[in-house]
Structure 1
Amino acid sequence: MTERNLAFLEGALAGESAIVTGAGQGLGRDIAIALTQAGARVAVVDINPDTAEAVSRELGDYGSPGLPIACDVSQRDQVDASVATVVSEFGGIDVLVNNAQNVRNTQMPFVDTDEEHLMVHLRSGLLGTYYYLQACYPYLEQRSGNVVNIGSGAGVGGLKDHFSYAATKEAIRATTRVVAREWGPDGIRVNTICPAAYDTPAMKIYLEKAGEETQAWMRSQIPLGRFGGGDEVASVAVFLASDAASYMTGHTLMVDGGSNMDAGR
């Protein structure tokens, strides 16, 4: 995380309580760090208890240690239990970041996609988002809280061979718009980020396999001409969760160097 990205949001979330799902690695970890730097206490939710614990300890270097919670977001009972734990430890919820998503085996041609493949993505992404929104609503209402959902340019642009993942992410964007309209009168803001973070573990592996020639072509498709980092996405998540974005709800922010500026929204 860089001082450049977060200096203008320092203390923006002081004293607030946040939940980040899928925070045991990658972009979720980056967002958890950014929220902590902005002054929030963060519940690090991950299906892997070891990574949840490791990131929670790491957050202590950025402000205050996180609250590690092992949770399979596709299971409503586990989601409900995790929210109850956060409320018990933190006293309430100000910020919810729905980041969890199974990203293994995302690539498959549409005609070969079976129901099992589709449901793996829907359960981890859409159902996880749905369960956390419903479980957190009473507490977000109490504090006029903020929600940041994570979409993807794969859905916005219709990425070839990514039906299950793209459909899930577009369903999450639709959820954002519906919930933003319904919860706006309660003072709750709900927005989506479609990120392009090229320094996550999964993306690093992909780029290594792709090779220099493919990487050069990929950079040529980005108007800013470079790969973005998770810290640059995380700073936007902090912005949306803060009062700096107090008149924004129901929107999708493409944090992708301009890659999807021409895609239909």
Structure 2
Amino acid sequence: MGLADDLAEEKLHTIRKGVLNKILILDVERIPGITQQYWWDRGDLKNRYIHYETVLRAPRTTILCAKWYDSDEVIQLAEWDKGGRKRFLKRVHSLMKQADIIVGHNVDGADLPWLAGDLHIEGRLPPLPPIKSVDTLKVLRKVFKGGAPFKSLDAFCQIVGIPSKTDRYDREAMERAVTEKSIEDRERLTAYCVGDVLATQALYDWCRPYIPNHPALFVEGKDKMVTCHRCGHDTKPIPRRYVANIMSYSMRQCVECGGYSRISIEPERLSIVRSV
């Protein structure tokens, strides 16, 4: 039984079939940069500023694995594929511009800024259209804070019972994959990245009730006022009201993920659904 089969057995809050948004789960692997260092004693190296003139190799993304939320296929792209790095960046750009929402663990702090540099500065590719992101690390930090002292993808998945990583990132393996063209290391690192994508989707489903600012999901033929914007399932009215500083609002709860939303009806604007 593989990791994907294990994830399917977990009780997670999956998105309703028929959601129109294109959701891309994404993870990247990189090779570190190399710089020259001149020093008189070891203390000179502490917090040493890196000057551009001393850079021998800039860090760069070498592997990107991703899957559309509603597909079982994991897309595997690498700079050593046919066509080389130039084609790799174009394929990544083409994939990302199809997405409405990109999901990842620390995707806002790492993957997306890294890719922006690779695609637009190095690759000279045009800007991507506006894309919403859901960063599961931000969700854990905001909701649980010190209540979840271990927030890495691997650690938190283990804590909540989600099958997670079966390997670790190996810098030396990446060096061999790039400089020595080691097939074994390339396959190993790509498989590691695939595992992160599968674990990220499962964590995303687990986190769903705790994402009040999730981008709205739309289901064809369904009233967006009474469907859950987190998962697209139906919601039901509840007697509890959301109390703000000046007024209170009626509330609904998702019948699948259990997330809450408030119905805001004000004379100055149309009714909208807001998370709580």
Does the pair score TM above 0.5? no
Q: Which has the larger radius of gyration?
A: 2
The answer to which structure has the higher helix fraction is 1
The answer to which structure has the higher strand fraction is 2
TM-score (norm 1): 0.28
TM-score (norm 2): 0.28
